Structure 1
Amino acid sequence: MSDLLIALRTFIRLVEVPSFSRVAREIHASHTTVARRLDLVEAHFGVRLFHRTTRRLVPTADADQLLVHARTMLDALDLAEADFGPERDQPHGLVRIGLTTALGLHYVERLGELARRYPGLQIDCAMTDWQRDVVEDRLDLAVRVGPIGDDSLVAHPLGRLARRLVAHPAYLAAHGVPASADALTGHQCIAYAYGDMPARWTIDGRERLVKGLVRSDNSEAVHRAALSGLGIALLPAIRVAGDMAAGRLVPVLPDSVIAPLDIFAVHPSRRRLPPRARIVLDFIKAHFPV
């Protein structure tokens, strides 16, 4: 690939993440190399692309305009390489996926099938329960809880994720079994929430504030707290099915209605996905929990 094309890819990334040091780490190059590539693009087009200070890197109006052309050109090149290059017959390379913890663990347990069929693929699972920025974090795909609310992302509906209220038998033996959703206010509820946001559970069509000794912004932490007998938790059914079958957790208010979560796969462009990312998207769709 020509030096200018490589430099344009670096320029695009600098606009997305205006940091020489971060881009240098991502592409395994030196700060000087990144700066030289930017100099090459500026010299070729005869424009200044960033205002540079000791603390900030701010794209200019020319950078915003060039960014549109650079992305269009490199997207077209990527598609041509997908159609005529070696990936056409045997997709290979890195695919970065943003996943929630519960769904990430679900898919990781099933990746063996994908690895056997496409040994040239590398899957990087970025698992967090907050929504990563797809562009800034260089994700090829991300699994999101809807609604998406971002017109720049292409969304593929995956399905609906059921949830269950559960608790350890020892907790219920010590504190009693709630007879209704209203009775949850008198129980230790293991809240899944972020920062200072209050935890709310919608049960039987009514939203209720819940609280307890433990809260976390990670669903696996909530899961383990429930297994430790610390209270009642609201968790994805896929995470607690095995525990319920083994008696480690038991259902709470099993006849209550808890709305499932709408789940989508998203990617950051309306162009056709490269074959390696398309294969992973198809795998995600095929193995969505039912």
Structure 2
Amino acid sequence: MSDLLIAMRTFVRLHEVPNFSRVAQEMHASHTTIARRLDQVEAHFGVPLFHRTTRRLVPTAEADRLLLHARAMLDALDAAEADFGPAKDQPRGLVRVGLTTALGLYYVERLGELAERHPGLQIDCAMTDWQRDVVEDRLDIALRVGPVSDDSLVVHPLGPLARRLVAHPDYLARHGVPASVDALGDHQCIAYAYGDMPARWTIDGRERLVSGLFRSDNSEAVHRAALSGLGIALLPAIRVAADMAAGRLALVLPDCVIAPLDIFAVHPSHRRLPPRARLVLDFMKAHFPASVCESV
């Protein structure tokens, strides 16, 4: 790839994440090399692209204008390489996917099928229950829970993700089985919540505050706490199906109504989705766990 193309890719990334050190680390280059590439783009087009201070890198109006051309050019190059290059018949390369913990673990267990069909793919899973910034974190695809109203993202509905109230049989033996939703207030509820935000469960159409001796902002930690007998947890059905079948967890209040989580896949609207990322998106759509959700 020519020096100018590399420099243009560097410029685009600097515009997305205006931080020399961050971009240098991502591109496995020195701070000096990144600065030199930016100088090359500025010299080529004859305009300043960033206001540089010791603390900040601020894009100029010219940088905003050039960004549109740069993205279009690089997208066209990527499309041409996909059409004529070795990836034409067998897409290959790295795909970065932002996944929630529960769905991420579900998909990881099924990636063998995708790897067997497309051995040239590399999947980098950025797995967290926090909502990642698609552009800043350089994600090709990311999952979102609930409606997405961001015009900068292309949205693909995946489906509803069912949830279940569960507890370890030993916990229920010690504390009793709640006979109604109102009785949850007398139990240890394992809260999935962030920071000091109150934990709320919506059951039978009514929102209820819940609390207990343990809470976490990670669904897998909540899952393991339930398996340890710390209380009643509200978890995705895909995480508890095997535990319920093996008797490690028991269903609590099976007749109550718990609305599923609507799951969407998103990717940036400003750039074309590469064929390798399209393969992963299609895999996620085809393997979304709707049947598991309905059967547990």
Confirm or deny a common fold (TM above 0.5). Answer: yes
One-letter amino acid of the structure 1 residue matched with residue 15 of structure 2: V
Give the fraction of aligned pairs with identical amino acids, expressed as a percent: 86
* Distance (Å, rounded) in 2 between the aligned partners of 1:117 and 1:47: 47
- Aligned pairs (5 A) from 1:1-290: 1-269=1-269, 272-290=272-290
* Distance (Å, rounded) in 2 between the aligned partners of 1:131 and 1:256: 29
One-letter amino acid of the structure 2 residue matched with residue 39 of structure 1: D
* Distance (Å, rounded) in 2 between the aligned partners of 1:231 and 1:172: 8
Q: What is the SS of the residue equivalent to 2:124?
A: strand
CA drift at 1:50:
1.1
CA drift at 1:269:
2.1
Of 159-168 and 51-60, more deviation after overlay is shown by 51-60
* Distance (Å, rounded) in 2 between the aligned partners of 1:190 and 1:119: 41
What's the CA shift string for 1:184-229, capped at 9, x where partnerless? 1111110001112111100000000111111111000000000011
CA drift at 1:174:
1.2
* Distance (Å, rounded) in 1 between the aligned partners of 2:197 and 2:16: 29
Q: CA RMSD in A?
A: 1.0
* Distance (Å, rounded) in 1 between the aligned partners of 2:70 and 2:130: 30
CA drift at 1:265:
1.0
One-letter amino acid of the structure 1 residue matched with residue 48 of structure 2: R
CA drift at 1:272:
4.2
CA drift at 1:67:
1.0
Ranges in structure 1 where 5+ consecutive residues have no aligned partner:
none
* Distance (Å, rounded) in 2 between the aligned partners of 1:254 and 1:272: 45
Contact 1:154 1:270 in 2 (8 A): no
Contact 2:190 2:211 in 1 (8 A): yes
Q: What is the SS of the residue equivalent to 1:154?
A: strand
* Distance (Å, rounded) in 2 between the aligned partners of 1:270 and 1:247: 48
* Distance (Å, rounded) in 1 between the aligned partners of 2:99 and 2:198: 24
CA drift at 1:270:
5.8
The TM-score normalised by the length of structure 1 is 0.98
* Distance (Å, rounded) in 2 between the aligned partners of 1:82 and 1:3: 21
CA drift at 1:273:
2.1
* Distance (Å, rounded) in 1 between the aligned partners of 2:85 and 2:115: 21
The TM-score normalised by the length of structure 2 is 0.96
What's the CA shift string for 1:18-53, capped at 9, x where partnerless? 111111110111111100000001111111111111
Q: What is the SS of the residue equivalent to 2:136?
A: coil
What's the CA shift string for 1:126-159, capped at 9, x where partnerless? 1000110000000001111121121111111111
One-letter amino acid of the structure 2 residue matched with residue 280 of structure 1: V
Ranges in structure 2 where 5+ consecutive residues have no aligned partner:
291-296
What's the CA shift string for 1:218-253, capped at 9, x where partnerless? 000000000011010000000000100111100110
Contact 2:193 2:199 in 1 (8 A): yes
* Distance (Å, rounded) in 2 between the aligned partners of 1:108 and 1:256: 31
Contact 2:48 2:60 in 1 (8 A): yes
